Homo-oligomer: A and B are copies of this chain.
Amino acid sequence: VTRSVTGHGARTQRRSSGGSTGIESGTARIAVDLLGGDDAPAVVVDGALHACGVDPDLHLLLVGPESVAHEVITMLAAGDRARVRVRAVGHRVTMSEPPVRARHPDATVHAAVAALVEGQADAVVSAGASGATVTAAVLGLGRIPGVRRPALAATLPGASGPVVLLDVGATIDSKAVELAHNAVLGAAYAQVRHGVGAPRVGLLSIGAESGKGDRVRRAADIAIAAQRLPEGARYIGLVEGHDVSLGSRVDVVVTDGFTGNVLLKGVEGAYVRAGTQISASLAPRGAVLLGVPGTVVVCHGAATGADLASGIALAASLHRTATVARLSALATHLAEVMPT
């Protein structure tokens, strides 16, 4: 694999601009959904405080009940309080509500996306129901031209470099054409975010030989092979579950949101089972919504305060490296193809 050394990769940028903290410079204003997550608001409060503490250029827009937001503010040093603002809303989208419930104007995740649309924030972070966050993001931001359905991308640290897995839960019952779009989005993300110059893109299936898999996979194998990928990226065909955790064969693994979500959670569970330290070093903390013209990070419903802080840091980094704009530029050809 050729990896970019021209400074386009986030890893390179972190090295050159972030010094020992690993944080890029520049103001980043992150809208945080105070009510998203199984253990919200406590874990979100913890995460917000931690994130503020390690990143002096981070500004937070706390979206949720005013009382919770003030809890965060009172726990900050007086000099840091100016970096935190509040957007007071009360309603929370619970895991058992249909995603469309996020359209309710009081829903915190809807209000967080609205802040992004209005230019009050640079990115959104939520550990709420991912379906609700995806719905709110698409309704508020739209999609980048040519993309039918957005995809959540998670990066796993493979043995020989990062592995981008998408979709991990945005789009269920995906069609072949949507998987082909995921191949473009994932390849662009690997290039822009991880500096992988010539990403190898694989389609997740149950064997490496062509023809293995269910109906959707057989159609997607053809659709991805016919899909124009960002320059340098290439489709290597079918890959398997272990390729996601090992990463020696592939840089971008394309799948539907159902399979990807099951696999990601299974791998994360395996790392927890293998030991806490392994889990902390190998399990991804947040997933990025690709295909919308804005920076949206989704954390696990079961996220801890540390996970939320990582998700906020990821959102800040994505904003500072202009990931979404650069990724969209690599995917413009999606808008040129025949509408399907």
User: Which residue numbers of A lie inside 8 Å of B, CB to CB?
Assistant: 95-96, 98, 129, 158-159, 169, 172-173, 204-211, 213-215, 217, 240-246, 255, 257-259, 261-275, 278, 282, 301
Contacts and interface: CB of A to CB of B under 8 A. Distances in A.
Given A206-B262, A215-B173, A269 B257 contact: no
A172 to B, nearest CB: 5
Interface of A is mostly: helix
Nearest to A277: B274
Nearest to A281: B274
A244 B273 CA distance: 10
Given A267-B270, A274-B270, A240 B262 contact: yes
B272 A269 contact: no
Contacts of A244: 266, 269
A274 B245 CA distance: 9
A263 to B, nearest CB: 5
A268 B282 contact: no
A206 to B, nearest CB: 4
A3 B41 CA distance: 39
A214 B173 contact: yes
B269 A269 contact: no
Given A172-B206, A206-B169, A206-B258, A266 B242 contact: yes
A265 B278 CA distance: 18
21 contacts: A96-B209, A98-B211, A129-B207, A169-B206, A172-B206, A206-B258, A213-B258, A217-B258, A241-B261, A241-B264, A241-B269, A242-B265, A242-B269, A244-B266, A244-B269, A245-B269, A255-B262, A259-B259, A259-B262, A266-B270, A274-B282
A209 B255 CA distance: 23
